[in-house]
Amino acid sequence: MAIELNEKKESNSITKKLVFLFALLFLIISSIGYVFLKYVIIVNNETRIKELNQEISSQKSKEIIELETKAAEAEILVGDYKILFEERANIINFFTAFEAWAHPQIYYSDFTFDVETRTATMKGSVNSFGPIIQQMDIFQNQQLVENFLVSNVKLAEAGGVVFDLSLTIQPNLLK
């Protein structure tokens, strides 16, 4: 039996040597593969990635320059419209004020407004002469009314009174 044990040890040691050689060979091949990947393939890919990033950056810059040029042109146009918008007459202020001044029994129609002269012209209709006189008194007491003129006062065919009103307002009402 002693001889048999020695033979098993010899076959085991050859098997161990073969396993060790295969493991060593695998380690060497793996190390060579790692070095090749790390210092050849990855470096080449990093260089290629840098080149592509620079190419993208240069293309992006051209697009951004074109967009900035278009944005600058649009800004000039918007600036022009902004000046016009800010300098325009704010007619809404007039309507808000006129609503407070208007006599509740008088109905106004055919309204026109001249921004340059700040004059509103309209036609009014009412049941009697009394509200017209009261309306004139209201306009006289308004500081924002620069001038007013009631003209063409006449009796309407269907009853009541019709008249024309021209009303000039202070310039600060349109700001």
Mean pLDDT, to the nearest integer, of 45-71? 82
Whole-number pLDDT of residue 1: 46
Whether residue 56 has pLDDT greater than 80: no
pTM of the model as a whole: 0.51
Whether residue 139 has pLDDT greater than 70: yes
Least confident segment among 4-8, 95-99, 150-154 = 4-8
Q: Residue 172 has what DSSP assignment?
A: G
Mean pLDDT, to the nearest integer, of 109-118? 90
Over the stretch 80-96, which tens digit does the pLDDT of each residue have?
777 767 766 678 888 88
Fold entry, domain 91-174: Gyrase A; domain 2 (3.30.1360)
Average pLDDT, the chain: 85
User: 108 — alpha (psi -120 to 50), left (phi > 0) or beta?
Assistant: beta
Rounded Cα distance between 153 and 162, Å, is: 6
CA 44 to chain centre: 45
Over the stretch 149-165, which tens digit does the pLDDT of each residue have?
999 999 988 889 999 99
Task: Give CA separation, 80 vs 75, 76, 109, in Å.
Answer: 9, 6, 35
Rounded Cα distance between 26 and 8, Å, is: 26
Q: Are strands 107-114 and 161-169 parallel, antiparallel or unpaired?
A: unpaired
